[in-house]
């Protein structure tokens, strides 16, 4: 976009119109006749016929300049045919306003704009390049502003779409991508098991609808129950400050509302269950380890239980781990049988030592620990991905 330079206003006596010349130009020639120009100011505007007649009536000479090129420059000076009109403000305001009005009304019908238009046509022709620059700048400015508005409009549309998506996700308990994946998995599972794919889709849709109804009703109840607390906060903080006793009153009200909120939510769950929408019977909306447990297969649960029971069986023989762990570790790392005192029962039969029993069962313990680790890793994983940490995260 062309940057428009500051201008100075010159006057061409030959063409009888102002010529706009950029301030950094050293050549001051008329763009039409190439005549030398006379500087008249940094700004100029045309004096329209009605204003000209008022000026003429103020000095008592109506229509005196009707054929002339009349302009007003900075400092409220009038230029007539390139010459400054020797007229002071006191010469205008000192006249009788009734007489000035009477002259204007008398000569108004003769105040043609013919000569004014001729001067304007000549002015436009002499300053065509400059006026085109201004027009281009205005056009480009409007285009840039329009693009900004279009971008803002697109951003707002994106925000609205995002808010709609969030609203839908809030009420349905899922987003579109996750919902599509869940529906697809339900259909595929039913297809693999030669079940009714239609029933699988219907069940998944009903589950989403139930979740939507539950969330919307719960949110409505919560809003109604919390509204008195927020109303009290707004009232007490109307002056922008909260005193200690006011904060205590708000806290007390919140404590009073908690049992009411709990009762209202409990009644809602009871009503939903009576209507066939049992929240506890559905795994929809579970998060974290609750979701993993709810979705765990029977095989995984039974396998994990068996592994834990097996370890309990072997570990139960160890009376005091702190007394035996060093010998167990030596046996596991050194590959040799640990030595321990021989123990006998009342009948004189030799009993195996704790260390010996643990050593004998090491292969089984190793296998069972590996299986238990595999089952654990199917449900949980470490936050860092490392096996050397006590912190875990749900998959």
Residue 130 in contact with residue 20, Cβ under 8 Å?
yes
Please spell the DSSP secondary structure of 233-271, one letter per residue.
HHHHTTTS---HHHHHHHHHHHHHHHHHHHHHHHHHHHH
- Contacts with 379 (C-beta within 8 Å, 6 or more apart), sequence order: 289, 292, 293, 296, 300, 394, 395
Q: What is the pLDDT of residue 80?
A: 94
pLDDT band with cut points at 50, 70 and 90 for residue 130: confident
Looking at the DSSP bridge assignments, the partners of residue 41 are 9
* DSSP helix/strand/coil, 380: strand
Other C-beta atoms closer than 10 Å to the C-beta of 382 total 14
| More confident position, 334 or 182 | 182
- How far apart CA 147 and CA 373 sit, in angstroms, is 59
Across the range 385-395, mean pLDDT stands at: 43
Across the range 118-139, mean pLDDT stands at: 88
Distances (CA, A) of 119 to 31, 48, 112, 140, 388: 15, 11, 13, 29, 92
- How far apart CA 155 and CA 142 sit, in angstroms, is 20
Spans of all domains in the chain: 7-126, 131-169, 173-284, 289-394
pLDDT band with cut points at 50, 70 and 90 for residue 349: low
Mean confidence (pLDDT) of the chain: 74
Across the range 339-346, mean pLDDT stands at: 54
Name, of 19-28, 238-247, 366-375, the range with top average pLDDT: 19-28
Across the range 69-89, mean pLDDT stands at: 87
- How far apart CA 76 and CA 72 sit, in angstroms, is 6
Kind plus residue range of the DSSP H or E element containing 41? strand 38-41
- How far apart CA 11 and CA 35 sit, in angstroms, is 10
pLDDT band with cut points at 50, 70 and 90 for residue 392: very low
Most distant CA atoms of the chain, gap in Å: 149
Across the range 262-271, mean pLDDT stands at: 86
Residue 22 in contact with residue 133, Cβ under 8 Å?
no
Name, of 165-169, 271-275, 371-375, the range with top average pLDDT: 271-275
- How far apart CA 354 and CA 314 sit, in angstroms, is 11
The answer, yes or no, to whether residue 73 has pLDDT greater than 60, is: yes
Q: How many Cα atoms within 13 Å fall on the side-chain side of residue 391?
A: 4
The answer, yes or no, to whether residue 149 has pLDDT greater than 70, is: yes
Residue 53 in contact with residue 107, Cβ under 8 Å?
yes
Looking at the DSSP bridge assignments, the partners of residue 8 are 21
Across the range 372-392, mean pLDDT stands at: 53
Across the range 206-217, mean pLDDT stands at: 70
The owner of tokens 């009038």 is 78
Q: What is the pLDDT of residue 375?
A: 64
Q: What is the tens place of the pLDDT at every residue in 309-328?
A: 665 555 544 444 445 555 55
């Amino acid at each position: 976009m062309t940057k428009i330079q500051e201008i100075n206003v010159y006057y061409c006596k030959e063409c009888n119109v102002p010529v706009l010349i950029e301030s950094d130009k050293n050549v001051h020639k008329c763009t039409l006749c190439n005549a030398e120009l006379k500087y008249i100011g940094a700004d100029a505007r045309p004096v329209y016929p009605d204003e000209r007649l008022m000026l003429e009536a103020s000095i008592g000479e109506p229509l005196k300049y009707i054929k002339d090129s009349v302009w007003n420059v900075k400092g409220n000076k009038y230029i007539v045919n390139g010459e400054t009109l020797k007229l002071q403000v006191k010469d205008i305001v000192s006249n009788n306003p009734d007489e000035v009005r009477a002259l204007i009304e008398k000569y108004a019908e003769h105040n043609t704009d013919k000569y004014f238009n001729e001067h304007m046509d000549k002015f436009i022709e002499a300053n065509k390049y400059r006026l085109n620059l201004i027009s281009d700048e205005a056009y480009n400015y409007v285009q840039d502003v329009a693009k900004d508005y279009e971008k803002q409009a697109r951003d707002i549309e994106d925000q609205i779409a995002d808010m709609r998506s969030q609203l839908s996700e809030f009420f349905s308990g899922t987003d579109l991508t996750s919902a599509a994946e869940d529906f697809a998995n339900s259909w595929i599972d039913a297809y693999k098991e030669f079940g009714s794919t239609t029933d699988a889709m219907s069940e998944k849709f009903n589950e989403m609808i139930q979740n939507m109804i539950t969330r919307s009703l719960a949110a409505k109840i919560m809003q109604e129950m919390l509204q008195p607390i927020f109303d009290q906060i707004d009232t007490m903080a109307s002056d922008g400050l909260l005193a200690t006793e006011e904060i205590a009153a708000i806290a007390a009200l919140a404590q009073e509302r908690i049992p009411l909120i709990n009762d209202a939510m409990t009644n809602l769950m009871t009503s939903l269950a009576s209507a066939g929408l049992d929240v506890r019977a559905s795994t929809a909306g579970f998060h974290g380890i609750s979701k993993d447990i709810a979705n765990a297969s029977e095989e995984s649960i039974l396998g994990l239980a068996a592994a834990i029971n097996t370890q309990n069986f072997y570990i139960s023989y160890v009376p005091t781990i702190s007394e035996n762990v060093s010998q167990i570790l030596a046996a596991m790392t050194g590959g040799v049988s640990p030595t321990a005192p021989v123990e006998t029962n009342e009948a004189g039969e030799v009993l195996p030592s704790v260390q010996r029993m643990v050593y004998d069962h090491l292969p089984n313990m190793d296998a069972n620990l590996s299986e238990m680790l595999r089952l654990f890793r199917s449900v949980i994983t470490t936050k860092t991905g490392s096996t050397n940490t006590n912190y875990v995260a749900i998959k």
